[in-house]
DNA sequence: TCCAATATTTAGACTAATCTAAATATATAT
DNA sequence: ATATATATTTAGATTAGTCTAAATATTGGA
């Protein structure tokens, strides 16, 4: 249906749209995809001809209904495969992105639905990101930043903002991963660093830099 | 490393080489891959420049050691994914080829090894084809054709020659699939058709056409 | 308002994979 | 042995995706 490249553009536009609003700039896409603005313009025209995006020259681009659906389908596959890689094959959550990046392009609606069922219809991937259902609907996700946590309370880690491998690896090393319970013992007002305990373990210091990239929900 | 297209050529050359001997003709590749001879010549030159094949113009092509290794790695992945699709996701053996055709190109040595382990190191895929190990070694496979079976004996179905979907689907419908036990009750010398029973079930007539495409081993 | 900085698009070119048509080599049947 | 049929390669063109450099549009500050 769509080429790998087209799928990657749709996904990129979707993610940028999620963060920065519906109108996505050529340069933002170029930066996100590590290509040149001229290349992006070419591809946007193609996606526009296929009615996957709305495009007015110089005004940025936004996903059409079909484009959004396509993007969500790719994201669904990506996240289901990530879940598979962690839960079934035993990879760590910081290892699976690049593999899923390839697997998300496998074309077979039947395969996706069977995989979903096989995995027990998970709602979130190993990073805590919501998995769209077969219709492209995202599960409700109420989440706050760890830096907005209150002293003395406990929370459940529900995901991350930053998805870079080095960040994820660091979190994994200190024992932080989605699902764990975080007890907030101290908040240093000077540098906004936190002293926490994970699942009731020993105290751990978390910088503001890290706390702003961790998502939490009320525990239970 | 290699493009999808290059991988598909290597696989095609491997399969043709398996059937017709080491020297594979341009036309044979073109026919197998549904392209034109001119296209094949171009690609052969590229594979030759990469030292994946040995090539003398007008004399056909053969896989180099590296080329053969690459081909076996792709076949390994294809067959492991087929096994996964049937054993874990519950697809029928006649449904999985096209999906595996896409999955075989996923690049990640670690993923393949973990998948192999997860599946319990299977030796054969759902069609009975041998799965190369991590080093590219194929398991021993002694197999005969069903048409060479003897009256009154029983055999285990070990695979198929023809891999076309319609053939596989037909076999599945009549209950023949790798692993089943075949009792040969009668052989009609006139048309070489067979009367068999599957796993001791009710009698079934098998044409010569079908019998020549089914592989068997001695039962147990 | 107008100019400079920034963002975007256009023009022209490149590579990989493919094609058709023409040229050339090999094989085969009298 | 030679002509004809078949197989293969070459030449030249096409499409998708990419690039650089140049042209053009938008924006924000004086």
Cα distances from A89 to residues A104, A118, A184, in angstroms, run 17, 13, 33
| Cross-chain Cβ contact B91/A114 below 8 Å | yes
CB contact under 8 A, B108 and A91: no
Q: Model confidence at B143, in pLDDT bands (50, 70, 90)?
A: confident
How distant is C1' of D16 from CA of B184, in Å? Answer: 55
In this prediction, residue A77 carries a pLDDT of 98
B91 to chain A nearest CA, in Å? 9
Mean pLDDT confidence for B67-92: 98
Q: Is the CB of A41 under 7 A from strand D?
A: no
pLDDT score at A143: 85
Q: What is the 3-state secondary structure (H, E, C) of B21-86?
A: CCCECHHHHHHHHCCCHHHHHHHHHHHHHCCCEEECCCCCEEECHHHHHHHHHHHHHHHHHHHHHH
Chain B contact for A114, CB < 8 A?
A: yes
Task: Of B134, B24, B158, give the one whose Cα is nearest residue B72.
Answer: B134
pLDDT by residue (tens digit) across B180-220? Answer: 999 999 999 899 999 999 998 899 999 999 999 999 998 76
Whether this model's pTM surpasses 0.75: yes
Write down the pLDDT at residue B141. Answer: 85
Per-residue model confidence (pLDDT) at position A220: 63
B115 touches chain A (CB under 8 A): yes
- Which nucleotide is closest to the Cα of A35 by its C1'? D18
**Nearest chain A CA: its distance from B178 CA (Å):** 23
Nearest-angstrom CA–CA distance, A17 and B34: 41
The answer to whether the Cβ–Cβ distance between A108 and B102 falls below 8 Å is yes
The minimum CA-CA distance between B169 and chain A, rounded to whole Å, is 18
Q: Between chains, do A107 and B102 touch, taking CB under 8 Å as contact?
A: yes
Nucleotide nearest B37, CA–C1', reads D8
Residues of B in contact with A105 (CB under 8 A): 102
* Gap from B31 CA to chain A (nearest CA, Å): 25
pLDDT tens series, chain A, 220 aa: 899 999 999 999 999 999 988 999 999 999 999 999 999 999 999 999 999 999 999 999 999 999 999 999 999 999 999 999 999 999 999 999 999 999 999 999 999 999 999 999 999 999 999 999 999 999 988 889 999 999 999 999 999 999 999 999 999 999 999 999 999 999 998 988 999 999 878 999 999 999 999 999 987 6
Q: Does A92 touch chain B (CB under 8 A)?
A: no
- Nearest nucleic acid nucleotide to A36, CA to C1' distance: D19
Digit-coded pLDDT (tens) for B148-190: 999 999 999 999 999 999 999 999 999 999 999 999 999 998 9
Selection from B177, B184, B175, B178 nearest residue B146 by Cα: B184
CB B29 within 8 A of CB B13: yes
- Strands B203-206 vs B194-198: parallel, antiparallel or unpaired: antiparallel
Percent of chain B with pLDDT over 70: 100
Q: Mutate which of B7, B102, B109 to test chain A, going by most A C-beta atoms within 10 A? A: B102
pLDDT given at position A141:
84
Smallest Cβ distance to A114: which of B90, B98, B105? B90
Mean pLDDT computed over every residue of chain B: 95
Nucleotides of D under 7 A from a protein CB: 7-12, 16-22, 25-26
- Predicted confidence at residue B64, as pLDDT, reads 97
**Whole-angstrom Cα distance, residue B30 to residue A72?**
38
Which of A91, A105, A115 minimises the CB distance to B89? A115
């Amino acid at each position: 249906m769509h080429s790998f490249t087209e799928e990657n553009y749709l996904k990129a536009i979707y993610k940028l749209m999620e963060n920065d609003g519906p109108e996505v700039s050529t340069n933002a896409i170029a930066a996100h995809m590590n290509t040149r603005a001229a290349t992006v313009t070419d591809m946007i025209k193609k996606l526009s001809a296929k009615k996957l995006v709305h495009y007015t020259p110089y005004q940025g681009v936004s996903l059409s209904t079909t484009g959004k659906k396509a993007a969500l389908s790719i994201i669904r596959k990506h996240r289901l495969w990530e879940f598979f890689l962690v839960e079934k094959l035993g990879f760590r959550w910081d290892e699976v992105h690049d593999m899923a990046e390839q697997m998300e392009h496998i074309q077979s609606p039947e395969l996706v639905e069977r995989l979903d069922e096989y995995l027990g219809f998970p709602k979130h991937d190993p990073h805590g990101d919501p998995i769209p259902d077969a219709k492209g609907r995202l599960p409700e996700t109420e989440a706050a930043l760890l830096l907005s946590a209150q002293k003395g309370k406990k929370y459940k880690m529900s995901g991350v903002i930053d998805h870079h491998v080095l960040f994820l690896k660091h979190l994994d090393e200190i024992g932080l991963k989605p699902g764990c319970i975080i007890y907030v013992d101290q908040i240093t007002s000077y540098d906004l660093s936190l002293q926490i305990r994970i699942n009731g373990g020993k105290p751990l210091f978390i910088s503001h830099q890290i706390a702003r990239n961790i998502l939490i929900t009320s525990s239970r």
